[in-house]
Chains A and B, each alone.
Chain A
Amino acid sequence: MDKTDHNILFHKMFHIEGGNFTSAGLISDQVKKILKEAGIPKKVIRRASIATFEAEMNVICYATQGDLSLFITPLFLKIVVDDEGHGIPDIHLAMSEGYSTADEKIREWGFGAGMGLPNIRRNTDEMVLTSTFRQGTHLEFVIYLERQETQLPFE
């Protein structure tokens, strides 16, 4: 997914503080506002909001800190998240619905359903997830502006 080098219309990076549940959702709110102002189709904004929300929550729940970058191109949106934190020992397991390593505190806030990564996959067109256990996680996903939800490869 190295196709963002050209035609980047917009780029912004947001810092996310791990463990700060009181500010949870603020980054995805900002991303949503930017996409609205950019005139992105409503359906794309809805999918991007869900995927960004879940990505932001993963940093808050499982990392000490992270950065989320939004790229807008004429053809697609791309979001890249890099964090320092727990990392994921088994990505295949983490991608399965219902699997979660969330502790009590995370669950009290209503997170840790084991649906975050599956929700990101379901609402994006391309997704890459790599991680080094006890170091951090790299996530990037692409949502095409024109593509219909019925064409999603994962549905």
Chain B
Amino acid sequence: MTVLDIVKSFELKIRGGKDQLDEEITGGYASDLLSDVIAHSRKGNIWITIQTHPNIVAVATMKELAGIILAGGREPDADTIQKAEEEGIPILISPLFTFELVGKLYQKGISGMSSC
């Protein structure tokens, strides 16, 4: 399943990295603490968060994540969008809150690590 597949399935809004939607998703991670994401996400993961500042793009780039979904309809800061364009990281928005969104992604076959 690619990033574009989930954009279509969940009618996500795209706010950056729209040319990078063909990457295959390897799994998912949900957290709002950046160092936790650095420690536990994996390459190609889709990351669900409510953080909107530019450092989410820095983290996604360092960990080579497939993209970021902002839950609860949150909009990224303007400089976050700019950085996402520079780094080629898709930033997507879902109106669903984190719990609902993760549940629906899981039903679609995107899973996380079973434990640390």
Contacts and interface: CB of A to CB of B under 8 A. Distances in A.
B54 interface: yes
Contacts of A118: 39
A55 to B, nearest CB: 12
Interface in B55-69: 55-56, 58-59, 61-64
A24 B83 CA distance: 13
A50 B55 contact: no
Chain A binding surface, main DSSP class:
helix
At the interface, is chain B mostly helix, strand, loop or mixed?
helix
A24 B79 CA distance: 12
Contact of A49 (B35, B54, B62): B62
A71 interface: no
Given A29-B58, A113-B33, A50 B38 contact: yes
A50 B33 contact: no
B34 A110 contact: yes
Given A46-B62, A49-B62, A50-B62, A119 B35 contact: yes
Nearest to A54: B35
Interface in B24-62: 31-36, 38-39, 49, 51, 53-56, 58-59, 61-62
B62 A53 contact: yes
A111 interface: yes
A107 B62 CA distance: 21
B58 A115 contact: no
A109 B32 CA distance: 9
Interface of A: 21, 24-25, 28-29, 46, 49-50, 53-54, 57, 97, 107, 109-116, 118-119, 122
27 contacts: A21-B53, A25-B54, A25-B55, A25-B58, A29-B58, A46-B64, A50-B62, A53-B58, A54-B35, A54-B38, A57-B35, A97-B39, A107-B33, A109-B53, A109-B55, A110-B33, A110-B51, A111-B34, A113-B31, A114-B35, A115-B33, A115-B35, A115-B36, A115-B39, A118-B39, A119-B35, A119-B38
